[in-house]
Amino acid sequence: MRGTEFEFRHRFGFIGSIFFIGFALYRVDGVNVAWRLVEHAAPALDDDAQRRVLRCVYLGGALLGALGTLLRTWATAYLRAEVVHDPQLHSDRLVADGPYRRVRNPLYTGLMLLVVGMAPLASALGAAWMIVAQAVFVARLAGREAAALLAVHGESYRRYLQAVPRFVPALRPRVPPAGARPQWGRALLGETFLWAMVAGLVVFAVTFQLQDFGLACLGGCLAYPLLQRAVGVGRRRP
């Protein structure tokens, strides 16, 4: 399964569109999936008890989203924010440090953790769409990246493929450290948009107001072009 150049170049637009469609599906299936599950699993609970259970579910989703975003930030610190957010595919160097010692695609694993953490905010139809569509799309992106890296690095990347799992991190590092130095400040700038989404998840768990989550995401969207410029996306590198 390999994505096209168009998909990779516009990957953030595709990812954002999948989220947008997922929440837009409330117009088709208007009941929150977590609320539906709680009502079905524990119908005897009163409204206050149900709200407490729901708050735990939403906070659990926020925690999962925070773990995913932390993994992405860790990966971005080693891969470099200007590479992560560049529309162009970079296959000139092979990164096997930080989280890349345990999993080949930590950026996509982190994204999927965030997607699953966000799913309880959607309807049942929207949650299923977001998880399945994002999983298929990131698998296509990962396939394209692997093909490009294999074409450039050949046998060294083939050995890396055999040693390191694709999406599920290994408990122990599978390759030795390469001595790369992480760029934490630029990584945090580059992933600020996703941290804004995590903050929105926490706020929603407190207020139960979907517009609060939407405002946090909107703030991240408005800041994203400035953050891209700050980390040097699009600048020529020596």
Q: What is the pLDDT of residues 146-168, one digit of tens each?
A: 999 999 999 999 999 999 999 99
pLDDT at 74: 97
Overall CATH class of domain 5-182: mainly alpha
pLDDT: which is higher, 43 or 229: 43
Overall average pLDDT of the 224-234 stretch: 70
- 180-190 burial, b at 16+ Cβ within 10 Å, e below that, comes to bebbeebbbbb
pLDDT at 135: 97
List C-alpha distances in Å: 77 to 72, 74, 139, 234. 9, 5, 22, 18
pLDDT at 233: 63
Tens of pLDDT, residue by residue over 191-211, are 988 999 999 999 999 999 988
What is the torsional sign of CA 18, 19, 20, 23? positive
Task: Give the predicted TM-score (pTM) of the model.
Answer: 0.92
Tens of pLDDT, residue by residue over 66-75, are 999 999 999 9
pLDDT at residue 226 tops 80: no
The average confidence (pLDDT) of the chain is: 91
pLDDT at 238: 43
pLDDT at 232: 67
Overall average pLDDT of the 127-140 stretch: 97
List helix spans (H) across 25-123: 33-41, 47-79, 81-84, 106-118
pLDDT: which is higher, 42 or 226: 42
pLDDT at residue 142 tops 90: yes
Query: What does the domain layout of the chain look like in residue ranges?
Result: 5-182
- CA–CA dist 127, 99 (Å, integer): 28
Output phi, psi for 95, to 5 deg: -95, 120
